[in-house]
Amino acid sequence: MVEVKLHDVGEGMTEGEITQYLVNVGDQVKIDQPLVEVQTDKVSAELPSPVAGTVKEILAEVGEVVTVGTTVIVLEKEGAAALPHESKASQEKEEPVSFTMKINKGRAERQSERVLATPYTRRIALENKVDIEQVSGTGPAGRVTDEDVIRFMKEGPTKTAEETSHEEAPQAREPVSEKKEEAAPVRAGKTIPYRGRRKQIGKKMTHSLMTIPHVTHFDEVDVTNVMKLREELKAEGIKPVSVASFFIKALVFALKEYPVFNAVLDEEKEEIVLKEEYNIGLAADTDEGLIVPVVQGADRLSITAINDEMKRVMQLAKENKLSKKDLTGGTFTVSNVGPLGSTGATPIINHPEVALVAFHKTKKMPVVVNDEIVIRQMMNMSMSFDHRVADGATAVAFTSRFAELIENPTKMMLEMM
């Protein structure tokens, strides 16, 4: 017998919620065949089969949160029953196998075998007795979204013109009516499961607030010149880059001057550990909740390279295909909520980091420059920091240095030489 366990995936992810089993007891499985979907606070993952064989037992229930090392499925290895010469004692000595999660690997190759949908979407379908295989997906690559499932519940499956023409009117209306009756409890008194990534995010945010004495400092930055520089480079045929790429590069320079914000507090050793690497986390809003992919080694990257890496990890975040490396090692986090229309916030620090900066909406405003009123593009920013590690004056100096680099981008260019 082979035990399939939840393996340690690092970065504090010591547990996961069983969101869906992809096999049943008695099924024959192949090596690397996905067996079960597990949701952690950072990724949706699958446990694959380490051997070819038969599913003998399923030990954890859907919705159950299991810790690292917990056996969730027991397999009988292929050919085990056909070896009568093996003694029972020798079989009992066989070591159980623990197998690592394969994070979303091969999803694209399995599109023809299995409908694309997030675990949360599958949960909605499951709890409302909807066969997700019958739902037409409108998301990227045909992915079934939450809205697709809800639409199916209200309207039933989308029929082709040929199918419709062969059905009588009463027969066509009956399923729709039945679906509406099923959907009524969802529309009135609708509930959203507090499980999976959402629950893990909640636990992490609560831990951060309970552990860190948060202070939020607000400032504003004149981004007129950096916006102008970006447009000039674009006009000269240089590959376009986002303004956020300039922000991250300026943050790295500011962090080098104020390293206390690129650090972690080791309370046991009573030490503030200043990090030598500059790995910038990007708070990303996805269908399954907040996730923070990381731009590794931002200090070693050009602004163009930062832009490319940001696009790469943000796209993977949307597709739920981030690797473990893409999610680990962050030293400082950025939340760019300006495009959503935000004007201010008090963001929660991504523990065990000691600070986080949020960039808010940019808008044209009348500003006094050299005793004259001019129109400038102004952006609000908010910085939450750990008051055990740094004081308000240091935070003000940090954001002022960042603003200086953004307001005078030629100075930032000199820093790169």
Check: CB of residue 137 under 8 Å from CB of residue 122.
no
Distance between CA atoms of residues 405 and 222, nearest Å: 10
Question: What CA–CA distance (Å, rounded) separates 347 from 262?
Answer: 17
- Who's near 131: CB < 8 A, 6+ residues apart? 125
The one-character DSSP state at 102 is B
CB 72 within 8 A of CB 4: yes
Which residue in 166, 207, 360, 387 is the catalytic one? 387
Q: Are 38 and 14 in contact (CB under 8 A)?
A: no
Three-state SS for 103? coil
Dihedral over alpha carbons 77, 16, 22, 158 (to 10 degrees): -170
- Supply 203's token pair: 């636990």
Which of 358, 377, 359, 357 lies closest to 367, judged by CA?
A: 377
Peptide linkage before 352 cis (omega within 30 of 0): yes
Q: Cα–Cα distance between 332 and 349 in angstroms, integer?
A: 9
Residue in 93, 15, 115 with CA at minimum distance from that of residue 60: 15
The rounded distance, in Å, linking the Cα atoms of 120 and 138 is: 16
Helix, strand, or coil (residue 92): helix
Q: How far apart are CA 137 and CA 337, in angstroms?
A: 28
Assess whether 85 carries a catalytic annotation: no
3 vs 95: CA distance, rounded Å: 9
Phi, then psi, of 21 in degrees rounded to 5? -95, 140
CB 304 within 8 A of CB 296: no
Q: How big is the chain, counted in residues?
A: 417
DSSP secondary structure string for all residues of 108-140: GGGTTTS--B-HHHHHHHHHTT--GGGSPP-SG
Q: Which neighbouring-strand residues pair with 363?
A: 378
What is the set of active-site residues? 387
